[in-house]
Structures are given as C-alpha cells and as structure tokens.
Structure 1
Amino acid sequence: MGFRLYLITDRKQFKETSNFSLPTSHLITASRQALKGGVKAIQLREKDLGTRELLKLAYKMRELTKTYNAKLFINDRFDIALAVGADGVHLTQNSVTPDIVKRVAGRKLLVGASTHSLKEAKAAEKAGADFLTLGPVYRTPSKLKYGKPLGIDVLKNVCSKVKIPVFAVGGIKSQRVKEVMEAGAYGAAMISEILGADDIKGKAEEINDDWIPVCAGMT
C-alpha cells in the first residue's frame, strides 16, 4: 500500500466564514502541513461540493500530493479521480461496487471501501476492493449516524477474516494507535486528530512514528 496513516479531509474542521474559498484554502494549507509531517495518503472527502468545485479542489490536491510523493484518493467520485489522475477512489456503501470501478478504470485506480461490519468487509473484498476502512471503532461525532462504536473486538475479528489491508477509522487518537495495531489493523484513518491539531505537521510526525515498528515490511 505504501502508507499506514490515511488522512481524510473535512474542510468544516475550519472556522466557517462568508468567503467560500477560505475554508478550502485552509484545507490546502493544512494538507500541506500533514504531508510535511509524513502523511503519504489523503482521501479528498468533501461531499457537499458540486462537481465543478470538487474538480477544482481535486486538481489542487493532486498537484500538492504529487509534490510530496503521496497518494490521493477521491471519495465516491471515480470519474473525478480519473479526470485529475488520482491514485484511487474511496467508495461508500452507497457508491458503485469495486468491481464496476475496476471494469471501467482497469488498473488506473486503487479502490478503497468504507465498511461497518464483517459482512460489508467480506463483500467489498469479494468485489475487488484493494483495502478497507472499518468503523467507527470508537465513538466520534463524525460517525454517529452509523450507530454505536464497533469496538476493538470487532476490528480484530474483521482483520482476521479478510486478506486485504484494513484501516481503523472513527475516534482514532494517537494514543489508540497501538491498540488498533495490536488488533491487526494495517493502518489508521483520521480526520480531526490531525486536522484539528494545533501543530498539524508535528501531530502527523508523532502518529507516523507509532507505526515505525510495523513498517519495515511495508509494501
């Protein structure tokens, strides 16, 4: 995969203003700091943006991630992922299935899939997903609509039942990285733990350091 820390964007982490472009510019600035801190994969997840605005932002993020030799994934919109030359697409349970993306895009895109149960994880793997996110593992405001947290035991069970990498998501704080690692997670997906940090670069460096013991055999 080439990465263990998976940053998911949310420009609403930044203070709202009447100027639409300001939160977007803040997102670019924050993403740059995260990349400087060693983040090697970013998922652009700005679901409220229209196609034109999302495409414009995706081009900027593609330029930025290339500068730092990092991967860019686009949430849901594999058409935009193809248009900007992203490395992959990250599908939700309401998206097209991974096999359809593979049929259209061939080997041009890596395919991640959001899952919330063993059943969904196995279905995504069978359909051709390259990796999964599973969550919410812990309680987090951004994932309340998915119900109660799955907990570490469910994460451990899913990791043992699928053969593709699983990234833990939902309430993943730096102090919980060791716990999800020991449960079998390949990596961790984060939003506020990084984007909400006072020192984004420093926080990314800190979390990446936690993965060093398991990164020697990273592919």
Structure 2
Amino acid sequence: MMTTNKLTKTFASGSLAIGVLAGAVLTATSASAASVMSTWGQWTSGTALQVGDKKVTFVSENGFGANALDDVELMEMGGDYYFIYDATTLASPDANISSGSFTYTIEVTDPNKSIVGVDLDSTVSSNYGTVTETFGEIPGLSLVSTNGSQVPSSGFIPIVPQTLLTVTNTLSNPDASTQGLFQLQNSFHQTTVPEPGTILGLLAVGGLGMVSRFKKQK
C-alpha cells in the first residue's frame, strides 16, 4: 500500500545573480501568472505547450509508463516557468510506478531572454527512489530528487544562459510494487538581456557618478 509523502510545493522566488554589464544584474519580474495544460497523450502526439516566450516540445520516452490521461502543464509565474507532470488526475488517479525516462525541449522564443537557473522537485510515496533531471546542453549537470527532495532546497541552480534546453527526467523506482511518483516539477529561472540603449544609459549614469565623486574629492 502506498503512503503519500506529500510535500508543500512553494514556487521559488527572488533573483538569481548573473553578471551582466560588469557585474550589474538586471532581471525581469512580473506579477502575472499564466498556464496551459494538456494530457500526456496529446502532448506526446505533437501538441506543444506554449506560454509567454517559452515553448515545451516532447522529444521521446523510454519506458516512462505514463497514462495517456496524465496531465502535463507549463506555467509562468513571476517571470519564471514551471513544467509539471501530474500522474494523479481525476481521469487517471494512479501513481506512476515505472522506472523510465522522457525527454523534451524548452525553447526561449524571445531573443532578449535566456534561461539562467534550474531546479527539480517531486512528490512521491514515502520510500521512493530518485527522480533525476539532466540537460543535453550542459554535460555533467545532474539534479537528483531523492524521496521527494527539492533540488536545490531553495532558489535555483545557476547555469550559463541558454535559449534552448533538452531536458531528460529519469525515474528510478526500486520497489514498483509499493512505491510511485505522483508529480514532478522542472523549474526555469530567466533573465532579460538589456537593450543597447539601456546599456548605454547605465554607462552614462555611471560615468556621471564617477565625475561627481571626483569633483567632490578635489
């Protein structure tokens, strides 16, 4: 019998420090929230998820064991994006008990924005194995959620700015007879590349400040 180790899911907030313009950090924030949802069957048949400037497209799966009526969702909140797979829906209430994987791409369609941080979270039964997230464009980076842990425990893991990520989620469930996955969440933090005019303006303001301080010191 499965016992739920249900975690309280809190969307990460705050700014991730990424150096732009000689150490200045410019991030885009938004109070808006939007989402689009599809069934696993629709998504894997070619219906991409698209919200704002992010597009999530299914690539492949290898023994993942999802039900066609499971849900997938792309959500934007506060300028960050969340891909969610939900195995326990009204139409398909059973947990995913497989040990398999699936791969998708998340693409940034706005040339002024990039993904600069990632995280992983999962909701599983009480003695589950692991959910591992890897990225085709970032060899060596592996996020491992063990028995429902959030990785990292807060915020995001910084990455080199990317406009396309190939994401693979892999389930390792040693005891499929009693354990299962209820939900997994991949989160993506983004930054906005400043316009050339903004950069020049900041440089001008910085230059005026330096002149002002120099005059005071004389």
Higher relative contact order (CA 8 A, sep 6+): 2
* Coarse TM-score class (shorter-chain normalised): under 0.3
After TM superposition, the score normalised by the length of structure 2 is 0.27
User: Could you say which structure has the larger radius of gyration?
Assistant: 2
More helix by share: 1
More strand by share: 2
